[in-house]
Every structure is written in structure tokens, then in C-alpha cells.
Structure 1
Amino acid sequence: MSVDDAGAKPDWRNPNLGTRVRVALWLADEVGEGGRFVKQQLREAIPGVEQIDRRMRDLRPAGWSILTYRDRGGLAPGELLLEKIGKPVWEKEHRAAGLRVVTAATRRRVFERDNHRCVRCGILPGELYPDETEAAARLTIGHVEPHKYGSASGEENLVTECSRCNETAKHLASPRFSERQVWDEITELPRKDKQMLLAWLVAGKREQSRVERAMSHLWQLPGAQREEIMRRLGRSLSS
């Protein structure tokens, strides 16, 4: 059944529908207003889709209210509440409701401006997270002012984030560490590192050193060119 069939509500199981439409239909049909769910249920219902959490967040500017435990007391960590069903994005006239498209050219300029690394944690694409030896970073575009509050999608409101920082910033991922654990880790840092950390917090992003900028530029080269520079660097240091 097509999403455009007059008077017919499509089935969320239809793989020919867009992911945002399928997520909206699943929420409306399987959860319903006032219903609770967890993200794993959504992933199991619509498997094999990358960034399905993002497609769910894209419903919020269309009037869908999806709350986390941070927003509503009584919800368990990781539990979500479908407080309100917004515009029926499965209907043709509402399909683009709330969407703010970031063009490929804008995305490229933002990545280049931020040196192709996450401004939150500083990780490069393809690097492994220190606490997850099998999880490689993937870069995406995040909003300085949250999209759900009606923010613009101009370059001044966009930043480069890894997918993990982006999820945490949108409050759809449980914190990986407690506030106490993070503070204990910070108190053990040398004073100069604490000063650097404070400067990053004030700036709202991780400021790069010259060697980090060089690494981010190096990482953008093809693998063969990186290996050649690695050999040249090794020879220059051994001479």
C-alpha cells in the first residue's frame, strides 16, 4: 500500500516507506499516546536501519512529544513516553513537516570547518573509542541549539559530532558515567589539564592543538598517502 493512497493509512511494516514515516506509524499503531517503550523495541520492529533514533527525533519538530526520564519523573532510564502524536507524516501533505534539510554542501563545509573531528570529544572518524575497543567513531551533524526547539540549520548553528556525542546531547542515550565518576576522574588531572578542560567547557567544544589539527588533516588523506607520510615521518625522526 502506498503512503499516498487516499484514505488509507499505510502499514509501518512496508519497507518501501521512508524510515521516519515507518517510525511514526509504529509509534502511532503499536505504542499510542500515553504509551511507554524502549528504543530496542523500535530497533527490533524496524531492523537494519542506521540512526533510527535520529528518525524518531525528527518527529519532534512535527509536533510529536516523546519524553525521556530526564523530562518526566517515573520513567526508568532508557524508557520513553509517547506523550503526544503530532502531524501524520505518512500523509503526503505532512511528509516534510518539521524537517530541516542540511544540504550535502553545507555538511561538507561544516566538516571542513571543524577539521573532520567531533567538537565534543575530539575523536576522528574511524577511531576507536577508548572505552569501547570495538566501536569506531562515525561523524554526523549536530545542532548547537536543538532542532526540536525550532532552531535553524545554517552553518552557524551546526557542528561536527560523533554519533555517540550526538545521541547523548539529544538526551536519547543514558549517561555512560555518573556525575560522581566524572568528577572523580577530573580531580585526578594535573592543574594544567584542568585549566584546559575548563577552557573547552567554556568554549563549548574541544580546542585542538597543532598536532591534533595535523592529525585531523592527515586522517582525511587516502590510506596510501597516510602510509607514505608515516614512512617519511619515521625516516625524518631517525636521521
Structure 2
Amino acid sequence: MTLPSWQDEKLGTMKRAALWLLTVVEEGNVFTKEEVKNAFPGISQADRRVRDLRDYGWKIDTHREDALLGQHEQRFVAQGQPVWEPGKATKSSSALTDTQRRKILTRDGNRCRSCGITPGQEYADTFETAQIDIARRKVKLPNGTSSVQPIAECNRCRVGGRSLEADLSAVLEGISKLGGLHKQTLTDWVAADEREFSTVERLWADFRTLPAESRDEVRKALGLPAA
């Protein structure tokens, strides 16, 4: 089927933007806000109409999802609904409203549930600050089915955790096997929604991030042979 022209002004801006992405930018390529502005001169909300396409299943990444992108760059990853077709510009029921988004962020403590960083906090050893948004995490339920659930995550963890599947059944099974002392410890952590890590635990976590050559230096310092 021949696509309508993205330059057809009879179409709405969002429909034209979708066609522009498909025929000019093309999937997998990067575009900028300035290019959107130049493609739709005189339309002040053109970049917003591009963002609106995400509500129709279009995958458009920013630097928050793709660490390789600059702050003003976006990547057209995949097409969603063909919104230019009659009846197709209907929002997916899975799209989050602003109210739902705020509720999830509040529920998750306004921090990344994967690494614990908070909005605006700098990542260790960098000048990059964290941005928290809503990701969708696949969760394996005790009955064997899977459910996609929203979770607050930072830009780094969202990029690295897209293929993760959390296993609720394994967590619940593990809890059922805990002894009294360990179960109480976990209960306290869950109640506070945080835990303090010991110096040894922090060193272990730092060790795991080291390249192989540096890990061998640590092994040497501990009297162990190189791996």
C-alpha cells in the first residue's frame, strides 16, 4: 500500500510526523528536535506530536533510554500503529496518564528501584545525573504466568534491563524457606524500603565492576592466584 505524503497538510501533525519518521528518518536512525522543527515550520508543537506517537506503540528513544544519544537527539526504533489510517489513532489502554505516572513514582519512593539512585543525583565517578522514569518489567507470577508491571527506573538501568524478567514466585519461595532471624532481617529491610550495606559488601560490589586485569590485582592483594 502506498503511504500518504508526510507533506500533506490535510493530515494532522502527528500523522504527518509518523510518515516523516517512516519515509525520511527511517527506522534505526537518529533525528534531532531541530530537524523536526525544520520539517514542520510554523508548527510550535511538532516535537510534542512526535512524542505523542509513543502512546500508539511507536518506539522513539531519547538519551534517557539510549546512552549513545545526545540530549537533543532521538532515535526512531520501531513503528507502532499506522495512525494515518482511519480508526488507527486510538491510544493503547496501556499508556500511562500523568496521574498514574506520578503515583508510580511516589509508590517507588522517587528512586530507581534497580540501583537506588534518585533524580538529579550524579552517578559515581561521572558528571551525569540520573533521570527517573517509568519502565515496564516482566514479572513471573507464582501461577506460572507473566505480567508486565510498571516500575521506576533511572535512564541507565532502563537501557540495561529491558530484557530482564523478575521472578516473584522465586522470591516468595525463598522467603518461605528463611529462618526466623533472617526473615525478621528481611522484614525490617522491606518495611524501611532500604538497607545499609557493610564496607565489605560495598567493596565486593565495586570489585565486580572492575575489568579482569584490575580484578587480578585485587586477587593478588588478597593472596589469591590470578583468575
TM-score tier, shorter chain, comes to 0.3 to 0.5
TM-score in terms of structure 1 length? 0.41
Structure 1 or 2, whichever has the larger Rg, is: 2
* Greater RCO, 1 or 2 (C-alpha within 8 Å, sep 6+): 1
